[in-house]
Structure 1
């Protein structure tokens, strides 16, 4: 596999693993309002009743993901349904991932049209792709890197399934940032979620 594809596979695997661990970390102390992951940082915004609950969630998250040094970056009071609640941002830096240990994905042909491929992937996982835009293009040796920005909505299981398929099937794609958040509620549930994805697509010249 091409070195740049190996790096993509390793980076995507790290993002997928971190997202799955965060989503599976459930607590009575606080609820997720936003999760953002990138190759350099993991961020979670949670909604809680008190600073004590935030501290308890912080401990639970560190136990669930002991390899990451989470810290409470900020705490803000906001009114939620007439009650004062606390929003807290917890962040952890990530070290650059090495491609050496990356398991190769199944062989996939280079898509003729990545936009159509992404639209088809969204349709297969029953999420609504609301926005898909091409960004800057860079020359990377024998490859051309094209940035894409996408917004979509769907159930949590559908979005996670889409993300899993995207990060494990396409070595020519590298996810640069992924966020998941509720679009009409304040905390993440199984329904009514939005996602934003920034990715790079590598295509040979």
Structure 2
């Protein structure tokens, strides 16, 4: 993942796009922008005092084609340098065409594990989330979006048409149950909620105010 950092560091995105206001969700087929606060968290996404940790993070958002989980490709959608405000904005409409070009049919790995998408020719991908140190270029640890109230993990995905995603898959001794429906092409939030020990439901999430969490338990800087 350090290659991603090197590729986009020079030049790093220096300006923010103007984000449309209002009509953020269903009437535009999903999410059109992300306005997030960066937090440092411990186990179970518990908020920690961010003043004790680096403010010079760079957040990279590559595309991850072919599923809700998976590995990123070389397409960096956004690179955001975080300052003392600990906030950033992503204009998703600006990157919609680029995301369209990177998404793929559901990967055979996920199909084999029990995940289904209908129509079968739907193209899908997610927005990856990777925090780096601006000073060293090294990964800061695990990173991702979370819900500010329940502290559940959130994933930002993209589909190219109205579709349904269902099925259970098992990863690392955990079961993920999908029950998703999307109204048309666009970016959508999905939420991972632990319904019982080691079992998670993956469902739609429509609220705003998302948080980008950097997991302190993964940091080598402490």
Question: TM-score, normalising length from structure 1?
Answer: 0.26
Structure exhibiting the larger radius of gyration computed from Cα positions? 1
1 or 2, which has the higher helix percentage? 1
